[in-house]
Structure 1
Amino acid sequence: MLLVLCSVVIVAGFFLLASRRLKIVPGRVQFAAELAYEFPRNTIAREQIGTGEFRRFVPLILALFSFVLVNNLFGLIPVLQFPTMARIGFPLALAVLVVYPVYHYAGVRKYGVGGYLKRTLFPAGAPKPVYLLLTPIELALKFALDPALLAIRVFAAMFAGHLILMVFTVSGEFLLLHAGAVAKPVSLVSFAFAILMTFVEALIQVIQAYVFALLSANYIGAALAGEH
């Protein structure tokens, strides 16, 4: 919980500081904030939701991307060294309490309850007998599995990466301090893999933040689309 609170302070503080005195020729902090804003805006929100309706969802996508990214990167910071999203409750709360109601609300607001359910559960163009199989699948996906899978993706990646780093680090420490003289040199191999996996984990942490925001925008775009 402390890490989550810290991430909120970090994200909010960064954007407030960067936007306090905006200039036509940006300084380093403003330039970094503009890059952090333009990436989820143009690469994620506009591409997945569409140019006509993406603007009102940009704050949400930006917040999701920034929040998940900072909490993932906590896993690389000495002393902390734990990605918050490796606790299933946090990504599940984001998926179920934030993303899930937003994309359903967006669809219902645009098409009405009946129109949204018709577009969601009875995709246009399918033969009528196919709906006997397709409609239950769409119902399970849109109202149960999609938010669960959204949470599990980032949780599984962060949890697995954290365990891998821990295994190599603890193994290297054990071999160095408690194994026999013959096995001690092997600890260097374990530590080397721990360092290598740290860089791999950093890449995965960024990718998972991107994937979480991307899929969130994709769900919103699908809810607003005329046909599925």
Structure 2
Amino acid sequence: MIAKTAEDGGEFHGPSISDFFPDVLFFTIAGIPVTRIHLIQFLATAAIVLIFTLGTRRMQVVPGRFQSLVEMGLDFVRVNIAEDLLGKKDGQRFLPILTTMFFMILFFNLTGIIPVLNIAGTSIVAVPLLLALISYVTFIYAGIKKSPKNFFKNSLFPSGVPPFLYIIVTPLEFISTFIIRPVTLTLRLLMNMIVGHLMLVLFFSATHFFLFTLGGWWSALAAGSFAFGLAFTLFEILVAVLQAYVFTILTAVYIQLAVAEEH
């Protein structure tokens, strides 16, 4: 996405929220109109499948560089998220969903800094909301599986609280546990990706405007905005990784709370 230039009278047009509502392309899938963002999501998904297929297809005792890189990524989720929070037994149980969640978010986030693609697959609400609902259902399933009779009771009526305070505590626990969690998971990921896209488009659109529309000594400002754009691109890489980690580790935390002994 770049700024419009001479055809608009030389006015600068920065990014807008319309970037996240692109026109429908010329085909549909199962009756659902496909947009540019959907194609980016398909490409990110294909990249995940390809990388992990190639990286695990012919496992060797002494791994090559590519296999080692894939194993490092898998071990990061297994050791630092799943087993660290849930222990070996529960960590192994929920490792597939945590691993899938981490790498899906990571790859979808990184499309936002790839030239030509230029927008994150997680920057429309459907993806963060779907992942949040999966997280929500998983931790409820874990709690019910662990303690079918007491999960909801212990969640809404925590021990150690005087009974007369339940009229205040129980509604708060219900809101914080069963409503706030999926909402905050969705909004945290969505807002970070939206803001990141808008900032990158702003910097590079300004570069294009200063360099090709105004020209002259304004080109010096183009160099500055381009430098800020590059710096923010590096920052967005960090944000992409961090948001994947935060979303996945919060899901693991919620599962851990659901399977705690008190339930």
Q: Deviations over 1:57-115 (max 9, x none)?
A: 0011110001100011111111111111111111111111x111111111111111x31
Match of 1:191 in 2: 226
Counterparts in 2 of 1:53-64, with a 5 A limit? Answer: 53-64=90-101
Match of 1:94 in 2: 131
Task: State the Cα distance separating 1:51 from its structure 2 match.
Answer: 3.4
Give yes or no for contact 1:123–1:227 (8 Å, CA) kept in 2: no
The structure 2 residue matched to 1:65, chosen from 102, 119, 123, is 102
Give yes or no for contact 1:50–1:221 (8 Å, CA) kept in 2: no
Question: Structure 2, unaligned stretches of length 5 or more?
Answer: 1-37
Task: State the Cα distance separating 1:117 from its structure 2 match.
Answer: 0.5
Give the letter for the 1:175 counterpart.
Answer: F
Task: State the Cα distance separating 1:145 from its structure 2 match.
Answer: 1.4
Aligned CA RMSD, in angstroms, stands at 1.6
Q: Deviations over 1:112-145 (max 9, x none)?
A: 1x31101211122223233222211111122211
Task: State the Cα distance separating 1:223 from its structure 2 match.
Answer: 1.1
Number of residue pairs aligned between Structure 1 and Structure 2 = 226
Counterparts in 2 of 1:207-218, with a 5 A limit? Answer: 207-218=242-253
TM-score, normalising length: structure 2? 0.81
Give the letter for the 1:25 counterpart.
Answer: V
SS of equivalent residue, structure 1 residue 185:
helix
Larger mean Cα displacement after TM superposition, 21-30 or 159-168: 21-30
Cα gap change, 1:34 to 1:180, in 2 (>3 Å): closer
Task: State the Cα distance separating 1:6 from its structure 2 match.
Answer: 2.1
**Cα distance in 1 for residues equivalent to 2:40 and 2:219:** 36
Give the letter for the 2:143 counterpart.
Answer: G
Task: State the Cα distance separating 1:180 from its structure 2 match.
Answer: 6.2
Give yes or no for contact 1:73–1:202 (8 Å, CA) kept in 2: yes
Counterparts in 2 of 1:109-188, with a 5 A limit? Answer: 109-112=145-148, 114-179=149-214, 181-188=216-223
Give the letter for the 1:221 counterpart.
Answer: Q
Q: Which runs of 4+ in 1 moved over 4 A?
A: none
Cα gap change, 1:182 to 1:43, in 2 (>3 Å): same
Q: Deviations over 1:27-63 (max 9, x none)?
A: 1121111111111111011122233411110011110
Aligned residues: percent identity?
Answer: 36
Match of 2:47 in 1: 10
Cα gap change, 1:180 to 1:17, in 2 (>3 Å): closer
Task: State the Cα distance separating 1:178 from its structure 2 match.
Answer: 2.5
SS of equivalent residue, structure 1 residue 184:
helix
Match of 1:82 in 2: 119
Which structure is higher in helix share? 1
TM-score, normalising length: structure 1? 0.93
**Cα distance in 2 for residues equivalent to 1:179 and 1:130:** 66
Which protein shows a greater Rg? 2
| 1:221 aligned onto 2:236 | no
